[in-house]
Structure 1
Amino acid sequence: MHSFLSFFETMPVWMKVGWVFFVLTIFWIFEGYYKLVFTKYNKWRHAKTNLILLAFVMLINVVFGIATVGIFLWLSDSSFGLLQLFDGPVWLELLLSIMVLDLIAQYFVHYLLHKVKWMWRLHTVHHSDKNVDVTTGTRHHPFDFIIRETFALIAVVIMGMPIAFYLFYRILSVLFTYFTHANISLPKQLDKALSYIIVTPNMHKFHHHFQMPWTDSNFGNMLSIWDRLFGTFVYGKTSEIKYGLDIADHRDDENILQQLRLPFDKSIHYKK
């Protein structure tokens, strides 16, 4: 187990970036054969906007990478965090760390992004996509992503986890993000069965419905237990889903400049 985790500590940058584009490519290919929604749109033009936003995210990651190293150095010297309170097997500490990261850095911050008005303005960029596919997983306003990363570091400090745990979580998070946004159709019974444990493509698509109350549901990224536990779980007929966002449907969702300005557009009445 230790040798497995040490791999993520020494994983070179090119391999981390390669993992992002490998997962993107795999689900891009699957979308061509196992579509959930059949809509006509220019897939490459649509991807261009989302991939530009991904480039911003990667730049932010560089900055947070420096901050992350500092935090882990401090944690190793201070022995701070919940994991220091008991001596459990590595696999259990890893599982607990991933669960806390998924709760705080995914579910909880995502919930806040919907419920706090100024955060919601930033998060509308993600929801304004009218053709949800695998590249939508990369679609975050830079300020939105900074908030998410800040909460991830808060979870790291609370747990006092080693850096290998955090890096392994990041690899898993990339996989789930693109899996749940991909325009793919799993067998209905399989998708529904899996949704009792993990977030599935169908489950997450309800979150991208253009109107409430579905917009404010299914906040999870990896584990579906948080939505079930806190009463935000929804699962219905995917044929009733319409992508986009009612308050911003008149905006060009493929115009990168418009999307970067969207949170600051005073003509949009954000109700939260």
Structure 2
Amino acid sequence: MILVFGRSGQVATELVRQADVTALGRDAVDLRDPPAAADAIAARNPRAVINAAGWTAVDAAEGAEAEAHVLNAEAPGVMARTCAARGIPFLHLSTDYVFDGAGTTPWHEDDMPAPLGAYGRTKLAGEHAVRDAGGPYVILRTSWVFSAHGTNFVKTMLRLSDTRDCVSVVADQVGGPTPAAAIAGALLRMADAMQAGKAGGTYHLAGEPHVSWAEFARAIFAAAGRRTEVDDIATADYPTPTRRPLNSRLDCAAIMRDFNIPAPDWRDGLRDVLEEFQA
């Protein structure tokens, strides 16, 4: 049995849809009390643990960094140490926000992190806690997650297009939109490989080809048959509490080399999501 922390998030939802896993939502385990995660693992003795939970409200983290740190760093650390003591593979989701977004080349796993805000700092602290636990682990950094459920850019654009003829979208942030289904599939495949003795580590998985948010919005409207126009704006024209990385490109060569998992084509994932909406 694979134990999943998280149930209602995009990746956790896809994990439940793709495999026979035991997913624990906040009603079952309150990660604001990190020792509860250790109790949950000990009670179930799973063959692998996937952490798909955490604080994901990027802007809200600026005013609540201590709370975000508990969910994004302390709780994963407890999970990882508990798994390490039992020899259980532990897989943990992280983010492109651990980087500062400088330059235009894709980030490699061994590039120096330099988060711009509280969310990125807490996620980076979680990475350190997982590595320091000393057990078999995978840290999977991803970006721009979307699906047919939860809150994400695709759903926001479609909602706005219901009432607007034109939407302003930033055009100087570039990255890889990533289907939640592809992330879930990768985690399950890596969990199986690790249980069979495969070494883990830190990996990147993000969609290709790289696009700006504005380009992604145009692709969404085109695929959905919407006539909404996109007005390109700069990040400076859309200020938010958290500074967003301009360069969120992630190099995915390592996960292909070690696990034979290719970077997903987000255009295929977008078609799948839109078909699910229609169904």
TM, length-normalised to structure 2: 0.25
**Greater length-normalized contact order (CA 8 Å, ≥ 6 residues apart):** 1
Relative to total residues, which structure has the larger strand share, 1 or 2? 2
